Amino acid sequence: MDEFELHLHPKYQKRFVEKLTELFPKIQFIVSTHSPIPLLGAPPNSVIINVSRTKEEGIKAELLDIDFSVLTPNTILSSPIFGFQDLIPDSKSNDKMIRTEDTYKEVLFHDQLDKQIDEFLTEENKQELLDLLKVK
């Protein structure tokens, strides 16, 4: 199946692979994709073959020995499976830090925590904390 995940929501890209495995346990599927999401639903005995083509070498297929079952989509994208060197948006400005949380729920939690800390740290509280740190 070529690019079967096209036009599918990421949640359904993963579920489609799970359903194929569940409904057809004795059938081997050969699938091409440009998305890491279907790999999240792939069975443990899946094999990854990276196919490339150059003018000099023609078409080349390489079996990749990567245990993607323990990788997140970002890690899969930066692995030899997809070959991204980094996943930093071009729109990121230099004055902002990259968020490294694993889930968006964690991003929201840390944003709320930062807000509460900022609200607590008045100039008086900052000085009190600095004084406590100097004592120890």
pLDDT digits (tens, 9 = 90+) for 53-76: 899 999 999 999 988 888 888 888
Predicted pLDDT of residue 136:
58
* pTM passes above 0.85: no
E-strand ranges in the chain read 48-54, 58-64
What is the spatial distance between Cα 33 and Cα 78, in angstroms, rounded to a whole number? 15
Predicted pLDDT of residue 56:
92
